[in-house]
């Protein structure tokens, strides 16, 4: 009885709010009413749980509370909205006829929501922005940072996408087999962006968000069950192999630890083994899938007992393939770093300088950090200092900022 602290409710909000929202969107038929219901449900939890104690299934409790608070809200709107009573009656009737929500149905709702957010009738940039907002709960500022654009632009995209879903009556459902394959690519991209935000948070006090990474992996497993092929298996493998290093990526004090310096005994060998099996299955299709190639690169790192044992020749070869099938400035940057490991810092630096001269990575802090590291290794202190300062000016994540500040302080005087 009782004794539920506000911090416990906050933790449940962080862990469960997006899942609860996805189910409320399905039950209530729209984003706006579901978002209001989510807020009402947590307000009710903050009032009742400290008095009555934590329910046996907080997620199901929040869904039920949110749905019935939505019915009450609609009834109060009856004076101003003629449709509200009819909608309230429909939701109430469906609630009384439906089976109780289970953890599995609530979990599957997030997959339904991703397919809704990624419906082909929505513009591509709006699909991803809406997914990051509604499935991950990222702020418009964080999404704008990922898109290298302004928050008002992102907010406008999200508003328009929600209006389009409402007006076109886009269903909250996973498409049937005929549509699944053609809609898969954008959904995979969205899930990978969710994972990346968990693997390396775009801003804030911590390097990672384990809840987002775990959610993306869970959704990846659902997709492999739905459609096992090179793309879905490759993405799941990539996420598992990348996430296997999470425990070693920060020190006990929360400081960033580079790949070469990580304690590999802390890597999750179960995830590495599962990821390796999926890589083999994905590459057996003979399709050069970008996710499978990135997973293969991660598997090379996972196979190396120490950083010195890494087969950088194989890594460069895989990046060559990746650059052919999915060229991008970030792929080119990662390839340049791998070439620096194989052939020496001067070889990598010339490639990075060419990339920065093109301008596409001018505001990407990791490009400047990589250049700074190569300049440092070559003894080019002034150039290293300038690049570290540029990277520091662009970095938004506190552990990365502290790491860059340490690197700057360690440079010898010019």
Report pLDDT digits (tens) over 217-268.
988 998 888 888 899 999 999 999 999 999 999 998 888 999 999 999 999 9
Query: What's the chain's average pLDDT?
Result: 87
Sign of CA dihedral 55, 58, 60, 65: positive
In a domain, 38, yes or no: yes
Q: Identify the helix (H) or strand (E) that includes residue 235.
A: helix 230-243
pLDDT digits (tens, 9 = 90+) for 291-350: 999 999 999 999 999 999 999 999 999 999 999 999 999 999 999 999 999 999 999 999
Whether 344 is covered by a domain: the verdict is yes
Q: Over the stretch 142-197, which tens digit does the pLDDT of each residue have?
A: 788 767 688 999 999 999 999 999 899 888 888 887 787 778 888 898 889 888 88
- Whole-angstrom distance, CA of residue 218 vs CA of residue 236: 9
**How many beta carbons lie within 10 A of that of residue 174, not counting itself?**
19
Separation in Å, CA 361 to CA 56, 128, 131, 199, 322: 49, 21, 25, 21, 18
* Helix, strand, coil percent values for the chain (each to nearest 5): 75, 0, 25
Q: And the tokens for 30? A: 């729209």
Q: Which of 101, 129, 150 is the last residue of a domain?
A: 101
- Give the pLDDT band of residue 85 (cuts 50, 70, 90): low
On whether the CB atoms of residues 243 and 213 are closer than 8 A, the answer is: yes
CB atoms within 10 A of CB 372: 26
The DSSP bridge partners found for residue 397 are: 204
- Does 43 have pLDDT greater than 50? yes
Give whole-number Cα distances, 254 to 249, 259, 265, 403, in Å.
9, 15, 18, 11
Q: What is the CATH number of the domain that holds 396?
A: 1.25.40.10
How many domains would you assign to the chain?
2
Residue 223 forms part of a structural domain? no
Q: Give yes or no for residue 99 having a pLDDT over 50.
A: no
Which of 72, 101, 130 is where one domain is finished? 101
Compute φ and ψ for 163, nearest 5 degrees: -65, -40
| Residue 71 banded pLDDT, cuts 50, 70, 90 | confident
Is 376 among the domain residues?
A: yes
Instruction: Tell which wins on pLDDT, 200 or 383.
Output: 383
Contact 187, 118 (CB under 8 A): yes
Query: Which residue in this structure is represented by tokens 């809609």?
Result: 183
CA-closest candidate to residue 131, choices 67, 188, 211: 188
State which residues form the domain around 329: 325-414
Q: Does residue 312 lie within any of the structural domains?
A: no
Which residues fall within 8 angstroms of residue 373, CB to CB, at 6 or more apart?
384, 407
43 neighbors 9 (Cβ within 8 angstroms): no
Phi, psi for residue 342 in degrees, rounded to 5: -80, -45
* pLDDT value of position 90: 59
Is 353 domain-assigned? yes
Domain for residue 97, yes or no?
A: yes
Last residue of a domain, one of 84, 101, 118: 101
Q: Does residue 19 lie in a domain region?
A: yes
H/E element, 50? helix 31-52
pTM of the complete model:
0.77
């Amino acid at each position: 009885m009782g004794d539920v602290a506000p911090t416990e409710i906050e933790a449940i909000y962080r862990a469960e709010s997006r899942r609860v929202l996805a189910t409320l969107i399905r039950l209530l038929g729209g984003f706006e009413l579901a978002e209001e219901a989510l807020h009402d449900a947590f307000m009710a939890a903050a009032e009742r749980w400290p008095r009555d104690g934590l329910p046996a299934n907080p997620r199901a409790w929040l869904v039920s509370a949110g749905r019935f608070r939505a019915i009450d809200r609609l009834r109060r709107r009856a004076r101003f909205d003629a449709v509200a009573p009819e909608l309230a009656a429909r939701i109430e009737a469906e609630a009384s006829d439906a089976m109780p929500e289970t953890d599995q149905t609530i979990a599957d709702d997030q997959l339904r929501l991703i397919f809704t957010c990624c419906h082909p009738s929505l513009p591509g940039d709006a699909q991803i922005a809406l997914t990051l907002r509604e499935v991950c709960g990222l702020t418009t500022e964080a999404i704008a940072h990922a898109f290298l654009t302004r928050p008002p632009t992102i907010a406008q995209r999200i508003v328009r996408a929600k209006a389009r879903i409402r007006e076109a009556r886009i269903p909250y459902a996973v498409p049937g087999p005929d549509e699944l394959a053609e809609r898969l690519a954008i959904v995979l991209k969205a899930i990978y962006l969710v994972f990346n935000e968990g693997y390396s948070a775009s801003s804030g006090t911590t390097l990672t968000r384990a809840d987002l990474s775990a959610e993306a992996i869970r959704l990846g497993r659902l997709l492999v069950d739905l459609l096992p092929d090179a793309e879905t298996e490759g993405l799941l493998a990539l996420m598992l192999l990348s996430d296997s290093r999470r425990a070693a990526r920060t020190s006990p004090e929360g400081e960033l630890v580079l790949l070469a310096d990580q304690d590999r005994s802390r890597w999750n060998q179960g995830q590495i083994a599962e990821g390796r099996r999926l890589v083999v299955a994905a590459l057996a299709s003979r399709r050069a899938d970008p996710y499978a190639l990135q997973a293969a690169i991660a598997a090379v790192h996972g196979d190396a007992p120490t950083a010195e044992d890494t087969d950088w020749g194989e890594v460069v070869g895989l990046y060559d393939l990746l650059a052919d099938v999915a060229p991008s400035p970030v792929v080119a940057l990662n390839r340049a770093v791998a070439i620096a490991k194989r052939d020496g810092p001067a070889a990598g630096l010339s490639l990075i300088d060419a990339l920065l001269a093109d301008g596409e990575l001018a505001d990407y802090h990791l490009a400047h950090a990589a250049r700074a590291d190569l300049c440092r290794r070559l003894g080019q202190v002034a150039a290293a200092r300038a690049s570290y300062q540029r990277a520091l000016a662009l970095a938004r994540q506190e552990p990365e900022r502290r790491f860059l500040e340490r690197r700057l302080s360690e440079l010898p005087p010019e």
